[in-house]
Chain A
């Protein structure tokens, strides 16, 4: 079935550093790919998504490109802020679209 493998955390960066969180997927066909963010004590918020190969999703300075050749959807941000500290989840729909399959999550801590 469809699944994602996400870079293990935790990740600790200084403010203004470059961020990459790796995500690779296994899927039947070419489903949409998603990044969600979870702030402490809250639910998941959609960060960005891409619906087809070569699409780039972007939001709040974060970007991820749907790469079919490498089956990847890595999350990047050029300059992180303290407020970006959260847990980031890569996700895709199950093969029958009945649920979302999530990676284990990567905890990011940004220090001033």
Chain B
């Protein structure tokens, strides 16, 4: 059973460009979460999605950031007009359900560098 897959693993963008990060959850998982990790820090929640629905986006900046999890295909985290402060590792996690006993399984992350 393949784990959570993320691509690309590394992404370099210049200021003002767009970044698209993809996440394919584990087979059978319908809940997807995105987190951001700044260097030497813990993970900070950004957004929680189920198929075709955003459940909680309270951790996502109001501007330039958006996320989707379409009926078919991977979840996408999109950052428009990137700035240097967006440089971070972005991790996706998935779980089979959303209860407090459900483990979130993490992908390897996408490391975004903004020049």
Contact = CB atoms under 8 A, between A and B. Distances in A.
A43 B99 CA distance: 22
A103 B42 contact: yes
Contacts of B93: 44, 100
Interface in A38-91: 42-46, 49, 51, 89
A interface bracket (residues with beta carbon within 8 Å of B): 20 to 34
Given A31-B100, A43-B109, A93-B100, A98 B42 contact: no
Contact of B48 (A32, A34, A99, A105): A99
Interface string B78-115: 00000000000001010000111111111111000000
Interface residues of B, number: 27
Contact of A43 (B101, B103, B107): B107
| Majority-rule SS of B interface residues | loop
Interface in B1-19: 4, 6
Contacts of B41: 104-105
B103 A45 contact: no
Nearest to A42: B108
A31 B105 CA distance: 17
Nearest to B56: A98
A102 interface: yes
5 contacts: A32-B100, A43-B4, A89-B42, A93-B100, A100-B33
